[in-house]
Structure 1
Amino acid sequence: MKRRFRELSLIFLLFLCIFAVACSNPATTTQESNGSNVPSATVETTPIKNNVLILSTTTSTENSGLLDYILPEFTEDTGYDVKVIAVGTGQALKMGEDGDADVLLVHAKASEEEFIQAGHGMERFDVMYNDFILLGPTEDTLNLKQVAANDIVKAFTLIAEGNKTFVSRGDDSGTHKMELNLWKEGNVQPSGKWYVEAGQGMGAVIQMTNELEGYTLTDRATYLSMMNNLDLQIVVEGDTKLFNQYGVIAVHPGKNDKINADGADAFIKWMLSDKGQQLIGEFGKAEFGQSLFIPNAK
């Protein structure tokens, strides 16, 4: 009888020990999962739903090297990876109209404002500027550097009258739109063998002009990035008509459910921020001794 009582007592004590251990360690699973005896804190975060941002922009911003300079900083600061599609401004605006891009960086203000008025974009912001220049062969037989040094319309008129080779972007880009306006101001309808419509980006057009020993209108930034490999020179610059303003626009999110409105907003805010503007202003100084784009966000 005593032996039976002792066995029951031992079983009872064992049960009490197991129960005590279980009660003293209620968070065993949690502690093993986080490796700490301190309960895990809940961190409130706003995750990025879509971290890929489609930027449709001009070939000048890509050919000049600007995007390679600033976009890694943007990605580091915001977490958005940028897919760049470099085309003429007209095509970039069409991509926005079709909902195939999230944000635009372009340089044809009148067309940009029409884009906004048509309901394709949210709002347009000035972000930076540079200028257009007229390039010509080192043997400038028209002597434009002397007779039309800062008169671009006169230079265009003389090129047409002399039937000198002129290579046009021919792609509805901002540069092409500017060129067509200048011919119109000079009452010139460009046509004939001397007028070559390339349908190419700025870098390709400059290279073609170099090979043909002709003339072309370009943004200064792209020329400076290529000038060491060219036999071309600046023959006309400084005319106020050659001002080249760039704008940034978020595509209207109502286009489709794939538009990355948050990413577009982050890009615009970053480009207009002190850091974005500083990086734009710094670009080119070390290599060329001058800024290739002048920041002017308001």
Structure 2
Amino acid sequence: MEFINKVLGSKVDWNKSEGLVSIFDRNSKIKMASTIGPIDAGIVGTLAQKFEEKTDVNVEYLGAGTGKALEMSKTGDFDLVMVHAKALEEQFIADGYGEERIAVMYNDFVIIGPANDPAEIKGRTVADALKKIMENEIKLVSRGDNSGTHVKEMELWEEAGLSPEGDWYIVWEGGSQGNSATLKYTNEQQAYTMIDRATYLALKNEITIIPLVEGEEALLNFISVIPVNPERFSQVNHSLAMAFIEFMTSEEGQTIIRDFKKDIYGEPMFFPDSTEWKNLSR
């Protein structure tokens, strides 16, 4: 199958039980593994649609937590990956699976909780807020799935010099469903959690918990794309993956990101962050 993949420049699957060979044309399609949040927010679909309209290239994307998205991309079945956990991304590249981290956009995380704020964290620093929640043993929901959100949460606990444990600390078994599902569950529990702002904005009319800690540099959430290494996987469509990346990081793509649903929520869901955009802004 690997030989056929190389000769045809397409992905070939063999279904042994049915005796069928399926050939997928990789010349007009790219596949991206992506962290779930930008998919749920709709920005991934919007960028994919705009690129398809310009190029007639179909963009397929599959959502998973960052850790799993990177693992999925180690198979050669995806041409690029969109993620938001720098340490995991750098390891993916160091291990030879990806070429480079390319900045696309960012937003921020907020610590969100019940409006009556039983731990009294509103306006505190992140470290103080986590300490208050832990000391008072007020329920906090963690995704616990090695997603970018979970990785950032663990970094914040470590920076605060704290190790969360106990019945109050809920490692939710449904965390791999993504931030939207986690936020809804946290609302049901009337607990605290850390979530990205885009997810909160998308669901704020459906929930009663509110942002209580925000605005620190440590809460920034940087989202990158990584082209899968064609020297490791000859079947990946590197040229089209790079074309999609060039579109996302171009002035046109970055303007789409800047303006995405801003008219609906009255504030940005994401901020442009590409090198080209920064150079334009100088």
For 1:1-298, what aligned pairs fall within 5 Å after superposition? 50-146=27-123, 148=124, 151-198=125-172, 199-200=175-176, 201-298=178-275
CA contact 2:118–2:138 (8 Å) conserved in 1: no
Structure 2 residue identity aligned to 1:173: S
CA contact 1:98–1:255 (8 Å) conserved in 2: no
CA RMSD of superposed structures (Å): 1.4
Q: Which ranges in structure 1 are unaligned for 5 or more consecutive residues?
A: 1-47
CA offsets 1:100-149 (integer angstroms, 9 cap, x no match): 31111111122212221221111211111111101101121122114x1x
CA offsets 1:130-179 (integer angstroms, 9 cap, x no match): 11101101121122114x1xx11111111111111111011101110010
Structure 1 residue identity aligned to 2:43: L
CA offsets 1:249-275 (integer angstroms, 9 cap, x no match): 100123334312122111111111111
SS in 1 for 2:185: helix
Tell me whether 163-172 or 69-78 shows the greater mean CA deviation: 69-78
Q: Which ranges in structure 2 are unaligned for 5 or more consecutive residues?
A: 1-24, 276-282
Structure 1 residue identity aligned to 2:235: K
CA contact 1:57–1:104 (8 Å) conserved in 2: yes
CA contact 1:78–1:266 (8 Å) conserved in 2: no
Q: Show the counterpart of 1:45.
A: none
Identity %: 40
Q: Pick the structure with greater CA Rg.
A: 1
* Equivalent residues, number: 248
Relative to the length of structure 1, the TM-score reads 0.80
Aligned partners of 1:92, 1:255: CA distance in 2, in Å? 17
CA contact 1:135–1:232 (8 Å) conserved in 2: yes
Aligned partners of 2:157, 2:80: CA distance in 1, in Å? 31
Higher helix proportion (structure 1 or 2): 1
CA offsets 1:72-108 (integer angstroms, 9 cap, x no match): 1011112221111111111111112222311111111
Relative to the length of structure 2, the TM-score reads 0.84
